[in-house]
Structure 1
Amino acid sequence: MQRRDFARAAMLFPLAGSGLLRAQPGWPQRPVKFILSQPAGSGPDILARYVADRLARGWGQPIVIENRPGGQNVIGAQAAARSPADGYTFYYATTAAMVTNVYTFKALPYDPVKDFAPVRLVGRSPFVIAAAANFAVRDLKEALALAKAQPGGIAIATEGPKTFSGMLADSVAGMAGVRLNHVPYTKAPDALQDVIGGRVQLVCLPDAALTAYLKAGQVRALAVSTAKRQAGMPDVPSLSETFAGFEYTGWNGLFAPAGTPPDVVARVNHDLEAVLQQPEVVQRLQSLGSQAEPRMSVAEFEAFMRSERERWVKLVKQLDIQPE
C-alpha cells in the first residue's frame, strides 16, 4: 500500500484502535441510512443518533437518520422492509415493531421474520410508571389504591392500549385489580406535557423518554419495569417488588432488509459491538435510559428474537389481546 493510501485509511478510521474493523473492499463508499419508526426527539431517536455518530466516526461515512413515525411503527417498518438490500439501509427497531405488532394487528404490510435480517441488539430499555410531580401519591401502591377507589377515574398516558407501554399499563392494572383510563399519544413529549399540566395523572413510557423530565423534577418515578432496581434509579422500586417475579423490558436493535450481504451484516455487528463496549458509551446509554448489550453475535441475536416471540405469545394470551 502506498503512503497516500495509509494516510487516507488513517483519516477514515480514527477508531480502528478501539476494535472497529477496517472497511471491507467497497463498503461503505457512501452515507448509510438508519430508518426509525419514531419521531425526532423520542427516546429511540436519541439513542439511535448517539450510536450512529460513534459508528460513523469509524466508517468515515455519515449515517443519516430517517424518521418515519406513525401507524404504531408500521410506516417505518414497511419503508425499511422495502428498502434495497445493498448494505446501506438499516432499521433501528424496537420490540413493538419486530415482535408485538404481530399479535396486535390482524395483518401487517411487512413480516418481521421474513423481511429482515437481525444485525445486533443495542440495548434493553426499561419502562417507567411515573406521576405528575403534584399528584398526591407517594408510591405505586397509593396510586393503585386510588385507582381502585375511583374506577376509571385515574388516567394514564401511554403510546396506545396495544403498544408496549399500553400493554404494560394493562398488565399492572390487571394484576392490581383496577381499571385505568388509557389516554393514547403518538409523541412522548405531548404526553408528558399533559402529565405535567395535571390533565393526566400517570404516565407509562420508556425510561429514555422520561429521563430529562425525571431529572428536572417535572414528573416522579413510581416504578421501573425491570426485575431489579436500576443503577441509574436506585431509589425507584422495581415492579417485581409489588408483583413478585414480574419483569417487562423493551429493547432496541438494528436490522437489515432481508438479502443484505452477510459480510456487511457481520461487519456492522462487529463494529457495533466494539462501540457498545466503550465505557463512555455504556455510561451515556445508561444516562439515556438504556442498558447497553456488551456482547451478542448475529447468531445470538437471531436466537434472542426467537425467544422474544415465544415469550410474547404467552403474554398476549395472559392479557387476552385480540388483534385488530
Structure 2
Amino acid sequence: MLPHAIRTSNAPRTRRLLLGHALLGACLLTGLGSAQAQATYPQKPILMVVPQAAGGTNDIVGRLVSQKLSEVLGSPVAVENRPGAGGNIGTQFAAKAPKDGYTLLMTISSSQAINPALYKNPGFDPVKDFKPVALIGAVPNVLLAHPSFSGKTVQDLIATAKTKPGQLQYASAGNGTLNHLLGEMLNSMAGIQLQHVPYKGVAPAMNDVLGGQLPFVFASLPASLSHIKAGKLKALAVSSPRRSPALPDVPALAESVPGYAGTLWIGLFSPAGVPAEVSAKLNDAMGKTLAAKDLRDKLEQQGVELAAPTSSEQFAALLNEDIVRWAQIVKSSGAAID
C-alpha cells in the first residue's frame, strides 16, 4: 500500500510541475514570437499619413521620403492624405492608430506645434500622443509681392506700410496658419499694420495675389518657386534666419528686421508606445534614407533645407521649444479656432 500511497500523494505535485513547465514554455514561445515579429519588422506595408492635401509642401516631401524609405526597409510605404482642420484630422487618425509601427505621421510644425495653441480642442496631444522619429528639414516661407508693387525690398514694403497704416493687405491660408502668423510677426517686429485677409487654403490665397487682387502673401518656397522663376511674383525675402540656397539672391527677412525667423520644419513621427525595437529600426532606416544622395538632391531642389542628423530626443526638444514660442505668437495675434 505504501508505494501506492506515495504515488497518490505525488500525483498532484507532478501535474503542477508539468503544468508549470507547459506555461513557461508557452510564455517563452510567445516572447520569442513577439521578438521575432519585431526583429523582422516590417512584415507588411507601412502607411504614412500626411495631414495636408496632395500637392502641398508636406505631400511633396512625404512622397519623396516614402519612396526611399521603402527601398531601405524593403517593404512598401504608402502615402495617404488626410487633410482637414489645419492638419488635425490626419493627426488625430495617426494618434489613434495601433502602436505597432505600421502607421506613421509625416507632418509639419504648423500642425504639430501651432495647432495646440490655436484650436481649443485639436483632438491630440503633440507630445504625449507621438514619438519623434526623424527631423527631415526646414522649408522657409517667402514674402511675395505682385509685380504691380513698385518696391523691390522689405525696406520698401515697411516704408510704404508706415505711410498707409492698415491699407496694405496680405493673404493667408486661413486664421492661425503659419503664413498668417508670419505676417503678424512682421507687423509686431517692424511696427507696421498690414491687414490680414484669410482664405480657405494657400491655393486660393496665391491665386488672388497672382491675379493682383491682393499685393502680398507668405507662401512656402516649394509652392512659390515656379512663380518666382517665371516672374509672376516678386520674392522680397525669405522667412528663415539666413538666405536659402535655392534663392541665394533673395535676402532673409532678418536682414531688414533683426531677429525675425519663422521656418516650417517637416518631420516623421510614430504613435507613442511603439515597441522600442521597432522604433530603433525606424530611426536607423530613416537615418539611411536621409543620407541617400539622390533623395537629398531632390529635396534640396524643392527648397528643403535638410537638417543635420538629429536624435529623437533632440527632435522632441525642438518640438517643445516651438510649442512654447508659437503659443506666445498665437496669443498676441488673437487668433483662435473652436
TM-score (norm 2): 0.83
Gaps of 5+ in 1: 1-22
Residue 38 (structure 1) aligns with: 52
Aligned to 1:99: 113
Do 1:227 and 1:238's aligned partners in 2 also have CA atoms closer than 8 Å? yes
- Once the two structures are superposed, the pairs formed by residues 187-206 of structure 1 within 5 Å of their partners are 187-206=201-220
Q: 2: distance between equivalents of 1:122 and 1:52?
A: 12
CA distance in 2, matches of 1:105, 1:85: 25
Q: Secondary structure at the match of 2:165?
A: coil
Match of 1:180 in 2: 194
1:323 offset after TM fit, Å? 4.0
1:295 counterpart = 2:309: yes
Q: Does 1:225 align with 2:239?
A: yes
Deviations 1:155-190 (A, max 9, x none): 212122312111111110222222222222343332
How far has the Cα of 1:24 moved from its partner?
A: 6.0
| 1:224 shift after superposition | 0.7
1:275 to 289, 300, 307: 289
- Aligned to 1:72, what secondary structure does the other structure show? helix
Q: Please state which structure has a larger fraction of its residues in helix.
A: 2
Q: Write out per-residue CA displacement over residues 19-56 of structure 1, whole angstroms, 9 at most, x where no aligned residue.
A: xxxx9643222221111121100111111111111111
Q: Does 1:256 align with 2:270?
A: yes
Residue 229 of structure 2 is aligned with which of 197, 209, 215? 215
Q: Look up the SS of the partner of 1:189 in the other structure.
A: helix
Checking the alignment, whether the CA contact within 8 Å between 2:131 and 2:270 is kept in structure 1 is yes
C-alpha contact (below 8 Å) 1:114/1:258 kept by paired residues: yes
Distance 1:97 1:32, change over 3 A: same
- The more displaced of 196-205 and 259-268 is 259-268
Structure 1 equivalent of residue 70 of structure 2? 56
Equivalent residue for 1:3?
A: none
SS at 2:322 equivalent: helix
Aligned mates of 1:294, 1:271 — CA distance in 2: 16
**CA 1:313/1:189 → structure 2, altered by over 3 Å: closer, same or farther?**
closer
Displacement of 1:235 after TM fit?
1.0
Task: Find the counterpart in structure 2 of residue 29 from structure 1.
Answer: 43
Report SS of the residue matched to 1:103.
Answer: helix
Asked if the contact 1:127–1:224 (Cα under 8 Å) also holds between the matched residues in 2, the reply is yes
Aligned residue for 2:186, secondary structure, equals helix
Q: Partner residue of 1:145? A: 159
Residue aligned with 1:307, SS: helix
**Residue 42 of structure 1 contacts residue 187 of structure 1 at CA under 8 Å; is this kept in 2?**
no
Question: For 1:66, which of 80, 85, 89 is the aligned residue?
Answer: 80
Where does structure 2 lack aligned partners over 5 or more consecutive residues?
Answer: 1-36
> Is 2:103 the counterpart of 1:89?
yes
Q: Determine the structure 2 residue equivalent to 1:14.
A: none
1:247 and 1:291 map into 2 onto residues whose CA distance is 14
Output the amino acid matched with 1:135: F
- Give distance in 1, aligned partners of 2:214 and 2:138: 27
How far is 1:263 from its partner?
1.9
CA RMSD of aligned residues (A): 2.0
Count of aligned positions: 301
For normalisation by structure 1, the TM-score amounts to 0.86
SS in 1 for 2:261: coil
Greater shift in the superposed pair: 190-199 or 48-57: 190-199
Aligned to 2:181: 167
